[in-house]
Amino acid sequence: MILDFTTSNELVAAHQFNKDIISNFALIYGKNNIGKSNLLRAVKESFQFLLKGQMNLSPFEPTISKVNSLFEMIIEDEENEIRYGFEININNKIVIDEWMYSKVNRSSRETKLFLRSEKFAHKDYFIASERRLIEKVNGYTLLLTMFETTMKKNKLVLQMLDSLKTSVFITCFEDPSDDDILSQIIEINQDPKLKNVFDAFILNADLDIKEVSVSQLNQEENDLFTKINFVYKNIDKSIEAKKYIGLFVDEQSKMYYEVKNKRIVTKTDSGRNETYRIGFVHNSNMIFSYDELSSGTKQILRIISIVISNLYDNSVFFIDGIEADLHPDLVELLIHFFEMVVTTLPKNQFIITSHRDELLDIENISNQCKIFLKNTGTIGRIDITYLSNYKLRDYQSPSKRYKLDAFETNPMIIYEYQLLGSVEDLDLEDTFKQDIQEDKDK
């Protein structure tokens, strides 16, 4: 997948020579507040605009009202490459232009499929009723979305939109609920092939968890759970709930404890609610609920359950801040697992953001796929560059070179010694004593 984020003012000069290519395994690196999360958010919002017609796009720098924004993506199959994009004024929520081109792989000649500004749609690719849509589309709607909702049999449109529908975002700005994660783990346990992958990862992750126990409640247990769960959610809120209190006055009763600590989960399947008991079996044979797990264990379960649930959907996984709450060894294990996925199932893609410069040294991500975001000094603009643009000798690790600002992406390095000097000049002991004395005087 190729995502090209440039301003329309630069399109003519730079677009045909400088595409920001993201392959099926890419690491996006940059310091805090450089825009990694915003980049993924822009991708997600653009996808939602295409699929659902939801104009939730918002400018990150409202003062730049005269500069339009461009979104473009390219999908490839064994024979062809399709390039689709749109230009939009985000402040006014108006679509300026929209286009789609195709070409045979490894060919330089493109065929114009449609171009909104010229009110053109190729008659060999779009039937008459579809071509007439280009006359009707308004400035608040994408033509591609109209094609999808009106004429759902167009192969090119379906191919483009289907590639968006398989996108999976694991980001800091949209966390799934605990119930969603547990439901995915239950689904994985019901598929022997996925369960084998999940169990193998859990054992290799050395989480002191030897098994995830999942079992469906019988009818008697399910009836009791329904009543207990109702009380748990409504106690102190509903007088009606109090009539059930006599069933379990003792809050330490087994099922009340299980409900309270998310050991029992209700999952909706084909319109039916099914209730499962789920526990995480420790190496000591003690069984823990999801709520009793550490934040790092929850995070690894969150990532791995989402990925495994979508393994066979040819998905594009956008993972923001992969190191959050995780030990460095677990991050490397995840990277290794993702490499195995794209090797075995090459139609999957992983696009990962991180703050850890050590990940730049991982050999199973090529330097062409290690991407830097850096400020240009121009408000509202971030440049993208690649590690492959720099020559490195075998004995030079990228992470050490980064710390020395060899890639011009670590501007804070020039202040390091000034900061250290400031700390050395500060008499921490006297300052601390002074603070204590001021507290006593109060």
Strand order in the sheet with 2-4: 2-4, 69-76, 80-89, 94-104, 111-115, 120-121
Q: Which residues pair with 102 in a beta bridge?
A: 82, 111
Residue 412 to residues 32, 38, 405, 415, Cα–Cα distance (Å): 11, 21, 9, 6
The pLDDT, as a whole number, for residue 435 is 57
What is the DSSP secondary structure assignment for residue 20, as one 8-state letter?
-
The amino acid at 30:
G
> What is the spatial distance between Cα 150 and Cα 218, in angstroms, rounded to a whole number?
46
| Domain chopping of the chain, boundaries | 2-172+310-389, 178-303
> Could you read off the pLDDT of 107-118 as tens digits, one per residue?
778 899 999 999
Q: What are 63-91's pLDDT values in tens digits? A: 455 667 788 888 877 777 888 989 888 77
Q: What is the pLDDT of residue 12?
A: 35
pLDDT beneath 70: ranges in the chain: 1-23, 31-35, 57-67, 150-153, 172-176, 230-263, 268-272, 364, 375-383, 393-395, 400-442
Contacts of 243 (CB under 8 A, 6+ apart): none
3-state secondary structure of 34: coil
Report the DSSP beta bridge partners of residue 95. Answer: 88
**Cα(349)–Cα(341) distance, integer angstroms:** 9
The string of DSSP letters for 116-184 reads: GGGTEE-TTTS-HHHHTHHHH--TTS-HHHHHHHH-TT-HHHHHHHHHHHTEEEEBTTBPPPHHHHHHH
The β-bridge relationship of strands 94-104 and 209-216 is: unpaired
Kindly report the length of the chain: 442
Tell me the torsion sign for CA atoms 339, 344, 345, 346. positive
| Residue located via tokens 């690719």 | 125
The strand pairing partners of 330, in sequence order, are none
d(CA 68, CA 241): 56
Q: Distance between CA atoms of 131 and 135, rounded to whole angstroms?
A: 8
Give phi and psi for 161, each to the nearest 5.
-70, -35
Alpha helices in 205-290 (DSSP H): 219-234, 254-260
Number of neighbouring beta carbons within 10 Å of residue 12: 8
CB atoms within 10 A of CB 6: 19
β-strand 209-216 against 272-282: which pairing, if any?
antiparallel
- As a whole number of angstroms, the distance between CA 144 and CA 245 comes to 56
- Whether residue 350 contacts residue 24, with contact meaning beta carbons closer than 8 Å, is answered with yes
Q: Which CATH number fits domain 2-172+310-389: 3.10.180, 3.15.30, 3.40.50, 2.30.29?
A: 3.40.50
Listed residue (365, 440, 373, 442) closest to 408, CA to CA: 373
